[in-house]
Each structure stands twice: as C-alpha cells, then as structure tokens.
Amino acid sequence: MELINRVGRVVEAGKVDFLERPLGDPAPNQVIIKIVSSAICGSDLHIFKGKHPSAPLPVTIGHEFSGDVVAVGSEVGKVKVGDRVTVEPVIVCGKCIACKTGNYGYCENISFTYRKGDGAMADYIIAEEPYVYRLPEHLSYDAGALIEPLSVAVHAVRRADIKMGEKVLVIGAGAIGILIAALCRKSGATDVGVVDYSHKRLEMALEMGATFAVNPSEKDVYEAVYDVTGGIGMDKTFECVGLEATFNQAMMTLRKNGTATIIGIFENPNITIPATRFITHEIKVQGSQGYCWDFPIALEMTKEIDIERLVTHTFKLQDLQQALETCLDRNSGAVKVIVHP
Ligand SMILES: [Zn+2]
Ligand SMILES: [Zn+2]
C-alpha cells in the first residue's frame, strides 16, 4: 500500500501551497509517523514572511509535531507501530568531532528536517529512529507537539545556568519566552520578569510561573528592573525577540558580571550595541540554538509544567494559510497555534 502525503510549504512570502507525493517505504532505520498535531513555530513565521536567514523559498515548514507510528524499518527496535511519538527534528552528520564527542548540537553540518524537504505540516513524516521519542501517558498529542519548543527553552535555561535565588528577566513572551520563564522558576530563580506588549501573553507567562510582568507601553523596563533589584540589575536575562532594542535591553538590564542569553532570530542581524558595557560591567552575552540532549529533559519537565496551556488556536491542515496569518496577527492573542491534519 503506497501512502500519498500532503505537504504544506511556503512558495513565496505570505503564501502556502500543498504538494502531494508518494511517501515510499521506510529505510531500515526509519519510522513513518501519521501526524496528529503540528504546531507553528516562530521560525515558520520568519519563513512565511520570506525573511528566514537560512531557509530560502520554497521550503516546507513544520517541525513541532506528534503522531502515531504507522510503519517501521527492519532495524527499528525503539518504537513500534501504534506508539504515540514526537521527533527531535535535527539532522547531524555523526562524523565530525562535535558529533563524535556527543556534542551534536555543534555538528559542522547541522540542519533541520524541514529544510531538507520534510516538513511536519503534512499527513505523514519519515523520521530516523534515534530522534523518535515515545510520549508519556499523561501527554496529549497537542502537548506532544510542544516538546520541541520546550526543548529549545530547556537548552537556553541550562546554558544560562540558573541558580537558586537569582533574578531573571525574559524579554519577549512568545511560547519560548513563557517556557523559559516557567523553567527558570522551576530551577530556583525567585524573581522572574517577562516583558511583552501583549497583555494576553503576559497573563499567560504569569500563570505559568513568571513573578512579574512588564508591558513597555505602560512601564519603562529599566524602571521595573530598578524596582525589583534596587538598581543592581538582573543576574540573568534572555532575549527572545530578535531586535536591536531588545538585545540592548538584555545587556543593559544585567547586573555586573551577569549573563544574557540570546535566542531571538534576527531578521536584521547587523545591530548596534553598547560595547563599553562588556568592560565596565564585565557582562557575558551568549547565544542558544536548538537542543542537544534536551528532549529527554523536556519530556521529564512536562511533569512540572503544563505546556498544553500555551495552545490558543487550532486549525485543520487545509487551513494552514489562515493558521499562519493568525500567528502574525498581533491582535489574535496567539501563543501556540496547532494544526491537525
Ligand atoms: Zn520550533
Ligand atoms: Zn557532525
């Protein structure tokens, strides 16, 4: 029986279409998954706008998903037909020094499945066995689709090395920012602020663990940080927006010797920053991308954090265009939009 697959892709800025193509049989180490829930990610939106720095159009989209295993290759032992699963959508070479020392996040040839033609805005997807994870009983399919963004947040919070009693500021309360705030609280941070222009997003961040919220249209961010730290500054900040102004905030709200972690995607990557601050305050600024052994931790953390609360909208796969437009609509209050094939 040959399965025909519908795959959504962005053909030009602001426009999606669907390809239909036969799926083929799984290779010995491959797993075929019938997708049940597929979430839209910020990076999908950068692609939809035609502004993703490393994904030229046309490109398939979708890499946050869950579903049922419907076929397995001859050598697959980790999962079986009928299992509920999610997938770490990374492609690494397995041959470079980074891969050989277990640091596959630093693979010289790293890529992501959707960039290689297999997006998850589709009926089916083929995955390699090592990257397939079984969903625990307590997780719904929608929650299972959010293990990927949770892993991104886990990676960032682990890199930031959050400690008990620390004060943290998260700039940008999209899904990643909200999850970072929640994880910082669980890691022992006592003051966790979030900054965003959307009341709905700030409210959700507070429900998920943030201790204070700042809407810059009502209160100056620096003033809010002053109030919480007595003018000393935050121990750690996270930039989850990708703009010059917020990068500057992430640097300038830090205390001396504090650490900023940058996660936002910069559509305009050449920005101006206050370089003197590195010296006068001995601050550190580091980036965080993707994940490396973070999926198993994220799956554990679902016992602590109710990720399904992030889901604000659901659509059918054929309404992908509308789903993407809803995400871009500032007034929609969208945090996580899920598509069901
Ligand atoms: Zn994502
Ligand atoms: Zn490699």
Residue 176: count of CB within 10 angstroms of its CB = 22
Q: 42 C-alpha vs ligand 1 centroid, how far in Å?
A: 7
| The pLDDT of residue 77 is above 90 | yes
Considering every ligand atom shown, identify the ligand nearest to the alpha carbon of residue 93 and give its number: 2
Tell me how crowded residue 4 is: count the other CB atoms within 10 A of its CB.
Answer: 10
Q: Does position 164 have pLDDT exceeding 80, yes or no?
A: yes
In which band, very low, low, confident or very high, does the pLDDT at 333 lie, cut at 50, 70 and 90?
confident
Residues β-bridged to residue 168: 192, 236
Q: How far is the CA of 239 from the centre of ligand 2 (A)?
A: 27
266 versus 189: the higher-pLDDT residue is 189
Average pLDDT over residues 148-155: 98
Instruction: Read off the amino acid at residue 112.
Output: F
Q: Give the distance (Å) from ligand 1 centre to CA of residue 62.
A: 8
* Burial class of residue 196, CB neighbours in 10 A (0-12, 13-18, 19+): buried
Statement: residue 115 has pLDDT above 80: no
How far apart, in whole angstroms, are the C-alpha atoms of residue 314 and residue 56? 27
pLDDT of residue 238: 98
Find the mean pLDDT for residues 112-117: 75
pLDDT, tens digit, 9 for 90 and up, residues 258-298: 999 999 989 888 999 999 999 999 999 999 999 999 999 99
Out of 27-41, 53-67, 237-251, 282-296, which region has the weakest mean confidence (pLDDT)?
53-67
- The pLDDT of residue 43: 86
- Model confidence at 116: pLDDT above 80: no
Q: Find out whether the peptide bond into 58 is cis, omega within 30 degrees of 0.
A: yes
Q: How far is the CA of 40 from the centre of ligand 1 (A)?
A: 7
Q: Which of 41-45, 53-57, 183-187, 201-205 has the lowest mean pLDDT?
A: 53-57
Q: What's the pLDDT at 71?
A: 96
Mean pLDDT of 147-174: 98
Predicted pLDDT of residue 154: 98
User: What structural domains does the chain harbor?
Assistant: 4-145+306-340 (3.90.180.10), 153-287 (3.40.50.720)
Are 271 and 244 in contact, with CB atoms under 8 Å apart? Answer: yes
Crossing angle of helices 147-160 and 175-186, in 10° steps, is: 50
pLDDT at 1: 63
What ligand is nearest to the CA atom of residue 100?
2
Tens-digit pLDDT profile for residues 196-215? 999 999 999 999 999 999 99
Mean per-residue pLDDT of the chain: 95
- Mean pLDDT on 189-201: 96
Average pLDDT over residues 180-203: 97
Question: Which pLDDT score, from 0 to 100, does residue 331 have?
Answer: 86
Q: How far is the CA of 43 from the centre of ligand 1 (A)?
A: 6
For residue 131, report the distance from its CA to the centre of ligand 2, in Å.
Answer: 15
Please give the Cα distance from 331 to 298 (Å, whole number).
Answer: 30
Tokens linked to 73: 């290759």
Distance 287 CA to ligand 2 centre (A): 19
Position 267 scores a pLDDT of: 85
Average pLDDT over residues 223-238: 97
